[in-house]
Every structure is written in structure tokens, then in C-alpha cells.
Structure 1
Amino acid sequence: MLKKNTQHEKVSHRKPVVLMSMGAQERKGHDYQVMTVKYIKPLAEHAGCVPLLAPTCCGSEDIEQYLSMVDGVYLTGAGSNIDPALYGQENLTPDKQQDPNRDNFDIPLIHAALKMGLPIFAICRGMQELNVALGGDLHQKLYAEPNMLDHREDGDESVDEQYADAHQVRLVSNSWLSKLLEAEEIPVNSLHGQSIKTLGAGVQVLAHAEDGAIEAIHLPEVEQFTLGVQWHPEWKAAQNPNSIKIFAAFGDACRLQVQARS
């Protein structure tokens, strides 16, 4: 009996495992699959989760097997844009890098994760993927839209300057995110040229930028944790109380998955 209790305790205290899909990068004639350290560390340090990095270059056939091993899904930002053909538009930014392997992996990954009830946390490109997967579309050139700010970073600035607070985000009043952050408005960084235009099925807004750009979304009709943010809470997360709260909430949701499976 003592042995059985000890085994159960080990299972229930297992850290959650979270899937992170990798992206393509070419270096000196070689193709790489990569994931930036800035995304990995807060998942481990503030969410208390173990990252499982999945290459997207091998197709989507093994998605269900990947998801059978994890307790959550974390869709990060990247330097590439989503293929506009996936939301019925022509490509207006042909000079911008694309990553069709990631597109073709993450779209079915989102559908499968939602079906399995797994928590999903999505940042920047990841938030846009979540919206596109559910039938929404994007502003391909947000900076060219009337009355919209230019949310892109200045490539001539230092990295610290690029990721500095750029504008305020207004949280939907009395939403779970505003309650989590204990605020109606927060400062955020801004490093994106594209933004959500039309919301996908079941997607609701949690925050807007000063110009009305959508900065955070969730799926209130599903039971599991879902959150997409357009800013980058992973950047120096340990120095940002709002980032810590967001990663901790995602980690707590993933721990519930561990308990449900134990």
C-alpha cells in the first residue's frame, strides 16, 4: 500500500510537458529547425513545465502521437509570416520569409489540441495561427492600414530597445485576463507587421492596442485554457510581473492536465 501511494505521488508531481513546434532557418546552405531560448526559459522557469520541441519539417502525420505525450501546447512567435493562401488572400509581402512546414504542422496541431482539451498559449505568430486555424484572417500590412500605428520594431535599434515597452494595451473590463493581471491597461512591447483582421470561429478579443489593433484573444466556448497575445511576454519575463502571471497561469492549466491523467 505504501509503495502504491509513493508511485501515485511521483506521477501527480510530474512536471507538465508542453509541445513547442520549431521553425525553419537556413544557415550557410544547411536547413535547420530552431527554437529561440527566450521562449523556452520562461516556460521552464515561470510555468514550471518541461518543453518538448517538435520539428515541423517531417510533416503532420505524428501530431496525435506528440500530443499523447504532452499536457499543453505553446505556439511561439517567429520571423516568418503565415502563408496568406491559408486565409484566402494573395501574398502582399513576398519579400518576407515564410515557413510552409510550420503552417502545415501548426494548423492541424491546433485543431487536434482543441479536440483533446489541451491548454494552448500562443504568442505573436502563434496567436495569428490560432485565429487562422479557426477561419479568421489577418491584416498583412497593419502599418499601411488607415489610422493604425506602425507596430514593427526598428531594425537599427539594439535588441533591448526593440523589446522595450512601445504602447499601452487596454484589457477587456472584468475579463479573466484583466483579473489575472489585476489591471485594465498594461504597457507592452511591439514587434509585428501583421495583425488579426477578422476573428475566427469562437475567437473573442481580450485586449486592444491604442489604435484598436487586436492584442489578445481566447476561446471562451472551450473548457481548457486558451490565450493568444500579440506582444512578447517571453522577453525578460523574470523582470515583468505581468509575464510571470501569464506563464504561471498557463503552467497551472497544464498541471491540471497532469492531475487528470494521474
Structure 2
Amino acid sequence: MARPLIGISSYLEDSARWGVWEAPAALLPVGYHRQVQRAGGLAALLPPDTGPDAAAATVGRLDGLVIAGGPDVEPARYGAARDPRSGPPAPERDGWELALIEAALAAGLPLLGICRGMQLLNVALGGTLHQHVAGHQGRPGTFVDHEVTPVPGSLLADLLSPAPLAVPTHHHQAVAALGPGLTATAHAADGTVEALELPSADGFVLAVQWHPEAADDTRLVEALVTAAGG
């Protein structure tokens, strides 16, 4: 049986270094594609493109989609004024990933959102974000572990047990008002929403606030690849 093709959205950086080179680059931490490969899928990186037509064409060639972590979502995307603590905007990536999410939902494509990917799923469906929460990030460039508790009976609880779970995290924004149709299916000890599901979706739609690609637990990506292979 053919291995499912899983697209992963990627960063677009003005400057990156490798070998003797320093230049603009599309890039992604290796944990994302390695987990897809370990789970039995083929990984394809998806740098920003333009418009809903490109997103629909891309989704039409995929078996599953991961919206990866990354920079803060532009507050104007959910009708908010900018908090001084929000990071610099990434308009190309915001527009591309929102178009990918909308195309994936319309096509019933299995979708996994990670950190920023969960926040964008919420925004795509009309939700809002807290622009700053404390206690969910360590030093720059590092992850910290904290506990999350899945909601009993949720898809997440079925996939990850026993609870609570210690997960790697690094974020300072979080889901505020839920987008219509979304259900919060995990929380941190301080009440922060740590997972979202779309029960009415035609297929697998799950998003988490933490970074599974930064750990050895591949169960979430395995579930995505399994759904994509169906």
C-alpha cells in the first residue's frame, strides 16, 4: 500500500545559515518530517504560496496536513488590536496557512495543528486568541515540560493515555474564545486550552498547543498518518 503523503507547512525566513551560505530560506525543524516518516508517511514541506486556489490545488494532492508551529498570528486576523507583546507579523505565512486549513476542512483532509497551527485553526473558524499568557515558555529556543489533562471521551484522550501528560511546550499566546464548532479537549493546570477538535468534521481534525515533534511520542502523528491512509 502506498505511504500517505503528508504536507507540513514551513517557515519562511529572511535569513538562514547553512555551510558557507546565508540567504532567505523556507525551513522546518527536523522533528516534524522525522515523525511523519517514522509513522509510515511521506513528508512534503509546504512553503507559503499565494491564494485559495493554490491551497486547494495543494490539498488536492495530499493525504494529510500538518500546520506547524511558528510565529505569532497577526491580531488583525481575529479582529484584535496589537498587544505590544505580540511578535512581528508574518502575513505571507498567515494567509497561506489559513487558506490551507480552509481547503483541508472543505475537502475532509485529515488535519493536525501544532502550537501556532492550533491557534490558526481556531482563528480560521472565527475564534480569538490571548496575545500573552505567562508560564508556558522557557528560555528562548528551548522547550519546557508541563502537564496537560485530556477531556475524557475525546479523540485526544483515546489516543493519549494515561492522563495527565507531560508535554514539551513553548508559547506565549493561546486560544481565547473558541471558534464555532470547535471543542476544547485538553487543558493545562491554569486552564489554558491545550487541544481542539472539530467533532462535526468529515474526518480527522485535531490540534494541540504543545510540540509533539520535540519529543519521542509519535502517537498523534501516527493517528494522522493512519487517518490519511484510510
CA distance in 2, matches of 1:99, 1:250: 27
* Residue 152 in structure 1 maps to residue 137 in structure 2: yes
| Residue number among 7, 21, 30 corresponding to 1:19 in the alignment | 7
Structure 1 residue 179: Cα displacement: 2.1
| Residue number among 34, 58, 70 corresponding to 2:62 in the alignment | 70
* Residue 190 in structure 1 maps to residue 169 in structure 2: yes
Structure 1 residue 209: Cα displacement: 0.1
Structure 1 residue 183: Cα displacement: 1.9
Mapping for residues 1-262 of structure 1, pairs under 5 Å: 13-27=1-15, 30-46=23-39, 48-78=40-70, 80-93=71-84, 96-143=87-134, 150-155=135-140, 162-165=142-145, 167-237=146-216, 243-256=217-230
Structure 1 residue 30: Cα displacement: 4.0
CA pair 182-206 structure 1, distance change in 2 beyond 3 A: same
CA distance in 1, matches of 2:57, 2:179: 27
Flag structure 1 segments of 5+ consecutive residues without an equivalent.
1-12, 144-149, 238-242, 257-262
* Cα shift readout 1:93-137 (whole Å, capped 9, x = no counterpart): 466232111111111211111111100001000010100000001
Corresponding position of 1:3: none
CA distance in 2, matches of 1:33, 1:93: 27
Flag structure 2 segments of 5+ consecutive residues without an equivalent.
17-21
Greater fraction of residues in helix: 1
For the residue of structure 2 that corresponds to 1:61, the secondary structure is: helix
CA distance in 2, matches of 1:184, 1:22: 31
Structure 1 residue 38: Cα displacement: 1.7
Corresponding position of 1:146: none
Amino acid at match of 2:227: A
CA pair 63-57 structure 1, distance change in 2 beyond 3 A: closer
Structure 1 residue 223: Cα displacement: 2.3
Contact conserved, 1:171 with 1:183, CA < 8 A, in 2?
no
Contact conserved, 1:124 with 1:230, CA < 8 A, in 2?
yes
Output the TM-score relative to the length of structure 2: 0.91
For the residue of structure 1 that corresponds to 2:229, the secondary structure is: helix
4+ residue segments displaced more than 6 Å:
none
Amino acid at match of 1:182: S
Amino acid at match of 1:163: F
Contact conserved, 1:172 with 1:184, CA < 8 A, in 2?
no
Greater fraction of residues in strand: 2
CA distance in 2, matches of 1:84, 1:95: 8
CA distance in 1, matches of 2:169, 2:194: 10
- Whose Rg is larger? 1
Structure 1 residue 182: Cα displacement: 2.5
Corresponding position of 2:19: none
CA pair 58-223 structure 1, distance change in 2 beyond 3 A: closer
CA distance in 1, matches of 2:85, 2:167: 28
CA distance in 2, matches of 1:229, 1:202: 16
Amino acid at match of 1:51: A
Amino acid at match of 2:137: R
Amino acid at match of 2:79: G
Output the TM-score relative to the length of structure 1: 0.81
